[in-house]
Structure 1
């Protein structure tokens, strides 16, 4: 049973998405969600809030943090939102490239013809040319390489 015509309680809104109410309260505390109004001490939400919760969940699934989501939704207009998402898209592309490289490395280890991939000269070459994690001057720890059939290892930009 819904609270009143067109309005939802925090429990109803959270329940629509399988969330605990404390998640919505946290989103409120970081400025992502604002109740339409309060009746006494109780929050009331509308269908627009359903849209906002769905947007937040999809943005989180895409890898955006709450600060990034807030920056997007609080941007003054559509072009500003696109600018913020364009920056995030570049971050995603870089992360995807690193994941592809990591996947290629693991795939080589799995398919390596050596009994122990740690003894494989190709694996050693790949790992030697990678930058060391934790070294600020080194940049990202995963190499960007040509596919393993390419035979050449190129350190990340």
Structure 2
């Protein structure tokens, strides 16, 4: 894409494998602000392509659209270190849960016993049953 070229919303959506309503939603949330052609049609330039790529990267990293709006509205995303630190903590919690799930599945694959007979599985199941709360 040459720097002077502009894309219509359908072209941009197709390029990223998105539906056009996604781009409109991002625009309504303040994440995108495309230029307008005569007649009001959206015109996306190189900066918009980079912005969409950045939004997708942020979503892959687990940020919500609201968090991305905050981060991308700042001149420097590092102005929001608290948000970034909180997100790192949340990612660490998710990684921990994913690793525990992976270990459970790996154990199930290697264990010759059924869930009813496997002591490890029985411990995991018992650990998920909530205690009765005293009234």
| Stretches of structure 2 lacking an aligned partner (at least 5 in a row) | 131-135
- Aligned CA RMSD, in angstroms, stands at 2.6
- 1:40–1:66 CA distance, 2 compared to 1 (3 A): same
Q: Deviations over 1:47-100 (max 9, x none)?
A: 110000001111112222212221221235342244422221111111010011
* Greater RCO (CA < 8 Å, at least 6 residues apart): 2
TM-score for both structures, normalised by structure 2: 0.80
Q: Deviations over 1:106-151 (max 9, x none)?
A: 222221232x12222222223323574xxxxxxxxxxxxxxxxxxx
Q: Which residue is 1:145 aligned to?
A: none
Looking at structure 2, the residues matched to 43 and 86 of structure 1 have their Cα atoms a distance apart, in angstroms, of: 36
- 1:126–1:18 CA distance, 2 compared to 1 (3 A): closer
Looking at structure 2, the residues matched to 91 and 35 of structure 1 have their Cα atoms a distance apart, in angstroms, of: 32
9-18 or 78-87, which deviates more:
78-87
Query: 1:23 deviation in Å?
Result: 1.4
8-17 or 44-53, which deviates more:
8-17
1:90-105 map, 5 Å: 90-105=89-104
Q: Is the 8 A contact 2:9 2:42 kept in 1?
A: yes
- 1:101–1:38 CA distance, 2 compared to 1 (3 A): same
SS of residue matched to 1:85: helix
TM-score for both structures, normalised by structure 1: 0.70
Q: Is the 8 A contact 2:71 2:77 kept in 1?
A: no
Q: Which residue is 1:139 aligned to?
A: none
Q: Is the 8 A contact 1:73 1:81 kept in 2?
A: no
Q: How many equivalent residue pairs?
A: 131
